[in-house]
Structure 1
Amino acid sequence: MAFGLAHLLATSPLKKWGGEGKVILEPIPAYRFLTKKPLGSFRFRAAYGGRGAAKSWEFANAAIYHSLNTPGARVVFVREIQGSLADSAFTLVRNRLEAYGLEGAFRQANGRFHHVENGAEILFLGLWRGNKPEGIKSLEGATLTIWEEASEGRQRSLDVLIPTVLRTPQSELWCLWNPMLPTDPVDRFFRGDVEPQKTICRRVNWDSNPHFPEALREQMALDRKKDPLRAAWIWDGAYMPSAQNALWTRELLDRAWVQGRDKVMEAVGRVVVGVDPAGGGGDEVGIVVAGRYGAEGYIVLDDRSVAARSPEGWATEVLRAVDAYAADCVVVEKNFGGDLVASNLRVNGVHCRIREVTASRGKQVRAEPIAALYEQHKVYHRRPFPALEGQLLQMTPNGYAVKGKSPDRLDALVWALTELSRRSLAFGVY
């Protein structure tokens, strides 16, 4: 015979009793923001950081807490791609329910947990199946959506997810991730220049977890001795360091900025806007402005890359870049748009010279001569460009090191500097 909810909670380590019979969860202090206020108090709650911070555990705990305290709640764990329940948080949630003695309060069926008394349910979905957002469509009416491994998500996922799940005053979207690159859509959304409204976002690392295992502590110490930069990414929530044998290094890029920050704008010569329209899985249109500087130098003036929402949108941003820097030429790759690429720019007001290029060789082959210019200290950066630099640090002689992602900003930079350095014939790409 199943015990009633009151009995289960009275004997569960999950609870303390609050007013009106509500259950109060006592989470790890770093995660109190997940349960301190009821659903609807924020639109977004997020946590990012390195391994060992107990993010997945505490988000699962909080999901159970809100399903107990919110009758009829629909709590959905999502991932970009979920091949099966084994890829989801299903097992973790089931184990937490068992640990709290609450397995009798939830009926398990069809890959979800249904509360037998208050009607709340916890389910698990993949956002994309093939190339279709079938999982996203299923999220309408969700009370709480928890996006796991959000750094793997595409910009298109974020664009569709937000208006789908934030339909009611009580609805919230929670995100948890280990940072990879500053170009990742979830990072730009929460940690970019403009913070979304009604948001609470926390960096949480291993040192905030009082239950951090000793075995992991030993592994962390070993990682710090072997490769401090990689250890900072794995354990401290830093961005991914440069890939092994990367064409660009952090030192090269830092020097480019140090050399370029004091350059006088009046000395900039010919200016080119490089454009890489989204294609082949890209989420962005790369738009990078660069100019000649002195007899043999080049300077990166701006990174105006935008999300690939509409042809009109990115063409308008190219026009703004041309006008802002009095550009002489726009160099645009046409592999994924053909003749429509140039006509889109013309229709939206770009009247300077447009040079269309076709990529006939691999990205790394086109990038190597440009990386060589950096090694010769001929390329300066007007200011730091974190998102662009994050992509440069992942380009190797064997290709782009981030699986499933397209380095659109890097490609735009390469097109611009290729045009300025007049190396097109050597590249064999036009």
Structure 2
Amino acid sequence: MILGGDGYLGWTLGLAMAHRTDRQVVLVDNFVKRRWEKEAGAKVLVPLESPQRRIAEYERIFGKHNLSFEKVELLDPEAVEHIIAKYRPAVVINAAQQPSAPFSMSSAKNAAATFSNNVAAHLNVLWAIAHLSNATKYIKVGSGGCYMATDTDYVPLGKNDFTFELDGQQHKVLQSFLPMQATDFYHQSKITDFLIDDLCSKMWGLKVITVQQATIFGATIPENHWTEREGLAARFNYDAVFGTVINRFICQMVIGHPLTVYGDGTQKTGLISLTDTAVNFLKFADLDVTPGEHMVVHNYTHRLSISEIAERLANISPSTKINYLTNPREEPTGKLDPQVEVHEAIKAVDSNKDARLREEMANMLEFASRYKDDIDPSIILPEVKWLAAEKKA
């Protein structure tokens, strides 16, 4: 069962899981992201069909009938209990998140909606699993951005002992996760998600995996890349609210618009392609997790600065220009450059990663070029600022 099955990640995972395995895959969504996109003035690169129409196309192309859809409001605990009781899934992947830091910082209403969607709905799912299907493996999509304001040289996977000095004396913290700090309300909600996962796994003996997800880039996976499979396309946002950095840059490139780097471009982000993300989640679904265990995995392949990303793209097309904008975000400027521990299950994806990055960028450019006439440059530049609005007189 994949929650958020209408989304960029959720649909992609469902398509890959259904096509590449013999599992029965149920997609679950309430379509709230479509409403948020309209409110934010966002647009998608490729017309987004309903899940039902995409599933019918999947069945036509691949001749399989193991993918289905249920409309469910995760904020309704009774509805969540009903869907869990109906299927009692072996695995639940929760990708039903409000995924945008700018959206969460745009208004009090949207900040609250972010916490409601990401935290309250998450709790409803955990309660339902605990009471109805505690053999279910629960995989929660977290965020590598939970560590963005923590100035450290290493991000471990599990709990560790830490020492610190205060007033000339050494002190210890035993068996704790690395402290997490956010710079926006979206990532703060993900920190809360993470801590809830840890609490519920121990309290109720659940099998929980938190995937601290890096920024995803890419438009397609092999199942939906070709023109004749446009009906299987995933949501692809390129706007300043819901579009991730490489996806925005690619769309700017194909219309001849300068790449817009926020600030000096030295801020770094973890990255992983949509293709690699799908491969890794299939592995996560097969991991052995014991009752009461909270397993953490960091899903990323690269860690690059925004300027490095822009420069790599500019190397593909030398006519591309790079513009530096005043940074609308509050982003940390730490002294340390952290190494991130990668789980054993996905270390193989880390090999040959630079060649795959170039290949994925080329695939994205080819794909976005098909729809260049539909790209609206007016929605790419940022309008949401992290500073609170000035007080009204």
TM bucket (normalised to shorter chain) is under 0.3
After TM superposition, the score normalised by the length of structure 2 is 0.27
Larger radius of gyration: 1
User: Greater relative contact order (Cα 8 A, min sep 6): structure 1 or 2?
Assistant: 2
After TM superposition, the score normalised by the length of structure 1 is 0.25
